[in-house]
Amino acid sequence: MAYCLLLRHARSSANAAGLLAGWSAGVSLDDTGRAQAQEVVDRLGELPLVRVVTSPLDRCLETVEPLRARLGLDLDLEPDIGEAHYGGWTGRPLVELAKEPLWRTVQSTPSQAVFPPSDEHAHESIATMAQRAVAAIRRIDAQVEAEHGAHAMWLAVSHGDIIKSVVADASATPLDDFQRFVVDPASVSVLRYTPERPFVLRVNDSGPLRPVPQPSTTAPETTPPGDAVVGGGAG
């Protein structure tokens, strides 16, 4: 039952220009994004993170570098939480893509959306993207708990659609409804997987996070792990 923090990369030059970056090379943070990356240190720098896993794309690496330097942790690159492979849509303006029939599928029934092939860029379906991302997050979360205990905290640095799909899975939301979630640049979402069910603790949070209090060894036994507290608990 580790705590999984999902950090979306800060604002990039592609975000500012209204382009679908995908796996395009040379997409870095803009001035606003670099300021957001510094703010991430203030928001997360006091947390006892035991592992930082990141998409290999530059905008994620640039976002987490100030925090990594503060914490002194190594970065684990994980392609399965990398951006969706948008194929022929990669690098194109969003206002242009919004005029294509596939756009409506992405909005209304994303589980059926398959991005067009391209000679330059890999392509995949949104369903495939979600499956690889969810599997990677759940796998790494289990590793963190096995190695560091049930209250360990770890960070995954990724992309908007990736994080939305992971949050949708954790909240038992069908993939066709994952567009209901908003995940802004440099926002944090927090999940906790348990044997019974995942808990969604925060979504699209832009404020400071505090360390989770460790359970007292003298406190009375409460609910079993994974059970929801009836009545909302005592807090």
31-87 pLDDT tens trace: 999 999 999 999 999 999 999 999 999 999 999 999 999 999 999 999 999 999 999
Mean pLDDT of 25-35: 96
Is there a contact between 149 and 143 (Cβ–Cβ < 8 Å)?
A: no
User: Which pLDDT score, from 0 to 100, does residue 219 have?
Assistant: 45
- The C-alpha atoms of residue 179 and residue 164 are separated, in whole angstroms, by 7
At 211 the pLDDT is: 74
Sign of CA dihedral 146, 151, 157, 162: positive
149-158 per-position pLDDT tens digit: 999 999 999 9
- Give CA torsion, residues 62, 64, 69, 71, to 10 deg: 180
Helix/strand/coil for 125: strand
User: 3 has which bridge partners?
Assistant: 153, 192
Quote the pLDDT of residue 218: 46
Helix (H, G, I), strand (E, B) or coil at 224: coil
Q: Are 12 and 28 contacting, i.e. CB atoms less than 8 angstroms apart? A: yes
3-state helix, strand, coil in the chain (%, to 5): 40, 20, 40
Give the residue-averaged pLDDT of 217-226.
Answer: 53
Q: Which residues contact 9 (CB under 8 A, 6 or more apart)?
A: 29, 33, 55, 57, 59, 60, 62, 63, 157, 158, 159, 185, 186
User: Which residues, including other chains, have CB under 8 Å from residue 8's CB and lie 6 or more apart?
Assistant: 157, 158, 159, 160, 163, 183, 184, 185, 186, 187
Looking at the predicted structure, is the pLDDT value of residue 112 above 80?
yes
167 Ramachandran zone, left/alpha/beta (phi>0; psi -120 to 50): alpha
